[in-house]
A and B are shown apart, each in its own frame.
Chain A
Amino acid sequence: MSAAVDVTDASFDTEVLNSSETIMVDFWAEWCGPCRAVSPILDAIAAEHAGKIKIVKLNVDDNPQTAMKYQITSIPAMKVFQGGEVVKTIIGAKPKPQIEADLAEFIG
């Protein structure tokens, strides 16, 4: 199982939008194979860059409001939030070096 904290429609404001940290939200679902593949990669990135970026997960099945608000039409989708704003979007499962390159400005 992933070590990342689960966020919900109810906790999204507190955990993500009002956070002072850089937070990456992993929009995922049980039935999405690529989501399961990328999950351990995100865990590893979070562990290696603790303090720079925090990674949380949002299950789109259980939390449709947030998924709809951010116009999610493809998962896995990873959105990086700073100060309540989306500053980066990564679409699709990619190998670790590619995701790290996408996140270079936050974890470099």
Chain B
Amino acid sequence: MRQIIIIGSGPAGFTAAIYAARANLAPLLIASSVDAGGELTKTTEVDNFPGFPDGVQGPDLMVAMQKQAERFGTQVVLDDVTNLDLAGETKKVTLGNGEVHEALTVIFATGSAYRKLGLADEERLSGMGVSWCATCDGFFFRNKTIAVIGGGDSAMEEATFLTRFADKVYVIHRKAELRASKAMQDRAFADPKIEFLWNKEVEHIYGDTLVTGIGLRDTVNGSESTVDLNGVFIAIGADPRTHLVHDQLTLNADGTVAVVGRTSRTNIAGVFAAGDVIDPTYRQAVTAAASGTVAALDAEHYLAALPKALVMGATQPGEYTPESAAVSA
């Protein structure tokens, strides 16, 4: 048994791991098999993370966070959690490979998952012109016409990034103003390849084997229109990833995991939550990292208050070896 298991490998998870590992709690961090590193691994330049005056590449930042967590004895496992049993004093975490890990505390930092438009053709044409990852797929739209759906920071970042490849990038937003930060808006407005289509909702995605166009409906006057294009990048936000815990942890109306005040404490003793999965508002790399710190400190205090015999029974510092990490990583 362990003292602490951290689920999630974004800024919240790794920062929690850095703090927990430095407190000699020898954390086990379940990073996921294909989404390790979280959302930042799908971004390019990150210019708002303090300490990097010239910016840093999102994937590089996450590799650095992982190394920092491992330096102090975090064991990182590249697998997915398939089941969580949080009710008892001992929490049970089941992985995709069938292993069951036990711990006295769990930090739940699973972040959020891309929201979909909810159109039937969106799924059908996924990988045939419909994409959720500009940095992965922009390359294939050289000299093409594409649309980015959404009005937030990630939509602006994708639109600006995609102008490197595409001849023309429409930004389609269902309102008349953007939610994106001023800096991101200004960059997008200044780009001659970007054209904004305001108050428009995507109703159809057309195409047989490749996307050929989209059907739009005006959210103000209801008029319909079509746009011929080759690709659709969907950036309409994300929902907290709570499918593992929705019947165990109390959720807020917005879908985030409910925590007590400014702490990371959930409704179950020994279970803490951090990062985008508890944050409907800010959702920045820095706020997620700070939230991970809060969770690690809360877990540490919780463990300190447990009967000593119980904590001594859990994995003690020193059991961790670099070899054990190498096997699973």
Contacts and interface: CB of A to CB of B under 8 A. Distances in A.
**A and B form one complex:** yes
A71 B231 CA distance: 12
B314 interface: no
10 contacts: A32-B136, A34-B42, A34-B136, A37-B34, A41-B34, A60-B140, A73-B131, A73-B231, A95-B96, A96-B96
Interface residues of B, number: 27
Interface of B: 32-37, 41-42, 59, 78, 80, 96, 126-129, 131, 133, 135-137, 139-141, 209-210, 231
Nearest to B230: A73
Contacts of A77: 127
B contact face: mostly helix, strand, loop, or mixed: loop
Chain A interface size, as a band, is 20 to 34
A73 B129 CA distance: 6
A31 to B, nearest CB: 7
Contacts of A37: 33-36
Interface string A68-100: 000111110100000000000101111111000
A29 interface: yes
Contacts of B32: 95
Given A33-B59, A37-B36, A71-B210, 6 more contacts: A38-B34, A73-B127, A73-B128, A74-B126, A92-B126, A97-B96
B139 A33 contact: no
Contact of B139 (A60, A71, A92, A93): A60
Contacts of B41: 33
Nearest to A33: B41
B80 A74 contact: no
